[in-house]
Amino acid sequence: MSVIQLYSLATPNGQKASIALEETGLAYEAHTINILKGDQFNPEFIKINPNSKIPAIIDPEGDNGKPFTIMESGAILIYLADKSGKLLSKDPIERNRTLQWLFFQVGHIGPMFGQFGHFYKYAKDQCDHPYPTDRYTKETKRLLNVLDQRLAGREFIMGSHFTIADIAIAPWVHCLEKFYEAEEHLGLRSFENVNSWLRRFVERPLVKKGMEVCSLDE
């Protein structure tokens, strides 16, 4: 185990780690954790991530030559960027600006989009009250508007530089149509800056490769 070990599934959070690994060029081996079958609750995986969530990585020599285990996709992105010297500025102010948008995803886009998808698509048979879907629809649209305004006149979240902020956010935006099938419901076409940015994102060759890592379709 001389290269980074990735334990993941091609969900939005999982794709963040695999895309970052591809874009940084760090050598890794991928292991699929099928959360639909409960792999995340296996004792072997719990030793890697006690919270039973994907993704997680092990850098076999990350801790002064000893194995270093990392859970939480945001922490993984920062670690990979620092290790490779790519995707995150070394300038303290620019670094902080990038991390603000990373945490925007971790604290808002991920949880809110995830709840939207749960109630809009996956829990229709369990909850027939309109309130949860309405609430998370409104919040998802609000966050998309924040993102759309940020991207006005910018190629990527941080301007002309592709960073971990893009890698964190884009898979979640992509899943609104691809996995949740909510393009019409959310009016996704109206967010023109977001759509242009997302097209640029998914057209990157290494992004395409990273998005398919640990796919159940493999």
Instruction: Tell me the whole-structure pTM to 2 decimals.
Output: 0.96
Task: Determine the pLDDT at residue 72.
Answer: 98
What is the CATH code of the structural domain delimited by 4-87+207-211?
Answer: 3.40.30.10
Q: Is 89 in contact with 156 (CB distance < 8 Å)?
A: no
pLDDT of 218 over the 60 cut = no
What is the DSSP annotation of 11-66?
SHHHHHHHHHHHHHT--EEEEE--TTTTGGGSHHHHHH-TT--S-EEEEEEEETTE
Spatial CA neighbour of 215 closest among 10, 28, 8: 10
Task: Determine the pLDDT at residue 124.
Answer: 82
Mean pLDDT to the nearest integer, 138-143: 98
pLDDT of 125 over the 90 cut = no
Task: Determine the pLDDT at residue 106.
Answer: 98
pLDDT of 1 over the 80 cut = no
In the chain, the amino acid numbered 192 is E
pLDDT category at 107 given cuts 50, 70, 90 is: very high
The percentage of residues in the chain with a pLDDT greater than 90, rounded to a whole number, is 95
Please list, residue by residue across 36-65, b when 16 or more beta carbons sit within 10 angstroms of its beta carbon and e when fewer do. Answer: eeebbeeeebeebbeebbbbbbbbeebeee
Segment (H or E) for 168: helix 164-178
Task: Determine the pLDDT at residue 141.
Answer: 98
Q: What is the domain partition of the chain in residue ranges? A: 4-87+207-211, 92-204
> For 169-214, what is each residue's pLDDT tens digit?
999 999 999 999 999 999 999 999 999 999 999 999 999 999 999 9
The residue with tokens 């902080």 is 96
What is the CATH code of the structural domain delimited by 92-204?
Answer: 1.20.1050.10
pLDDT category at 216 given cuts 50, 70, 90 is: confident
> For 36-89, what is each residue's pLDDT tens digit?
999 999 999 999 999 999 999 999 999 999 999 999 999 999 999 999 999 999
- Average per-residue pLDDT for the chain: 96
Spatial distance between the Cα atoms of 75 and 79, rounded to a whole number of angstroms: 6
